[in-house]
Structure 1
Amino acid sequence: MTYDAEATRQRIFEAATAEFARHGLAGARIDRIATAAKANKQAIYLYFGGKEKLFGQVVRAKVDEICHAVDLDPRTLPEAVGQLFDWYHEHPELIRLLLWEALEVDGGRVEGEEERKEGYRGHVDGLVAAGVPGRAAAQDWLFTILGLVAWNFSVPQLRRLILDEPDPERAIARRREVVVELARALAERAAPAPHP
């Protein structure tokens, strides 16, 4: 049986995603990642360069995944926000990873920061091209949309307490409807005025 380096990398990456989402950067353990991935610790250092770099690569990959899954165009914003909402609901690990990153990096630079900024710049450029008036407005618009969706999954205890909905899936469906409607209002506000 031959050694499959790519399969090993993928197993490490999946195990690391689960470990970091559960325990954060400080609480994650390389030995648990290695055990879950059926790999040795040396492979993790060889392929990823250590725990901090692996954490950064995991966060970046999950952010890239969502960035490529949804196109936030003001002309189709309600549908795109619905897709984004569904994606976050189906991939709760991204919110946990971002929250851990916020807690543990504490205002410092994040791994792959320039590349991640470049990805967001691309979304901002797309929003400007689609009619959002100016870069600053597009940046604020993007940040607001992401927050509007992500907050629903960042604090599930507040969602439960405030909505007082005993069925978590009904609460999520209710929040999705509200978020999509808010996105519709934002899209209407951002739509360029027709020329006379």
Structure 2
Amino acid sequence: MAYDAEDTRRRIFDAAAVEFAEHGLAGARVDRIAAAAKANKQAIYLYYGSKEKLFAAVLRAKLEDVRASVSVDPDAVAESVGQMFDWYREHPELIRLLLWDALEVGDEPGEGEQEWRDGFREKVGQLIDAGAAGDLVEDARVRASQDLLFTIMGLISWNFAVPRMCRLVLDEETEQAALARRRETVIETARRLATPPE
């Protein structure tokens, strides 16, 4: 059977995503990634260069997944927020990766950062084109739309960053009940935030 480089690369990537989400960058082990991927450690270094570069590739791909899968529809912000909430519920690894990135990588500019900025600028532009903060001058509209986007992201992601706290604060018996409540609250809050003042 011929060696399939793309299949090996995919298996390494999938195993690394699980390993990094569970253990972070510092705690992840290349030998565990290799074992889970049924690949050798040399293949990891060949395809990705280093553990740090593999972590960056996983995080970049996960962010691209959410960007491609969910958009903020300026005309239907509440519905978009519901879709984003559901996406994060189905892909909890992204929040964990972002938390590990914040804890371990910090604020150092990283590979792909310009792509991330461009993607977020595109979403902000969509909000502005649809009339977000239309009562403000251009520069203030950009800033208000950036703040709106980041606030919505925070409203969604915090539920998945601290699910136990969510359940305890809401005094719900299960995480599912707490998240169902939060989903409705987040949608309504986003609707209010995105509604222009009278």
Q: Pick the TM interval, shorter chain.
A: over 0.9
* 1:4 CA drift (Å): 0.8
- Structure 1 unpaired stretches of 5+: none
CA contact (8 A) 1:59 1:98 kept: yes
SS at match of 2:111: coil
* 1:40 CA drift (Å): 0.8
CA contact (8 A) 2:78 2:188 kept: yes
What letter corresponds to residue 10 of structure 2 in structure 1?
Q
Residue in structure 1 matched with residue 191 of structure 2 by the alignment: 184
Residue in structure 2 matched with residue 35 of structure 1 by the alignment: 35
**Number of residues of Structure 1 aligned to a counterpart in Structure 2:** 191
Residue in structure 1 matched with residue 60 of structure 2 by the alignment: 60
* 1:103 CA drift (Å): 0.3
Is the aligned partner of 1:139 residue 2:131?
A: no
Residue in structure 1 matched with residue 10 of structure 2 by the alignment: 10
Residue-by-residue CA offset, 1:82-118 (whole Å, 9 max, x unaligned): 0000010010000000000000112222332111111
Question: What is the identity percentage for the equivalent residue pairs of Structure 1 and Structure 2?
Answer: 60
CA distance in 1, matches of 2:89, 2:110: 25
Residue in structure 2 matched with residue 122 of structure 1 by the alignment: 122
Q: 1:161 aligns with which of 138, 160, 168?
A: 168
* 1:124 CA drift (Å): 1.3
CA contact (8 A) 1:34 1:41 kept: yes
Residue in structure 1 matched with residue 182 of structure 2 by the alignment: 175
What letter corresponds to residue 68 of structure 1 in structure 2?
A
What TM-score, normalized to structure 1?
0.93
- Structure 2 unpaired stretches of 5+: 134-140
SS at match of 2:173: coil
Hey, which bits of structure 1, 4+ residues long, moved more than 3 A?
none
Larger relative contact order (CA 8 Å, sep ≥ 6) = 1
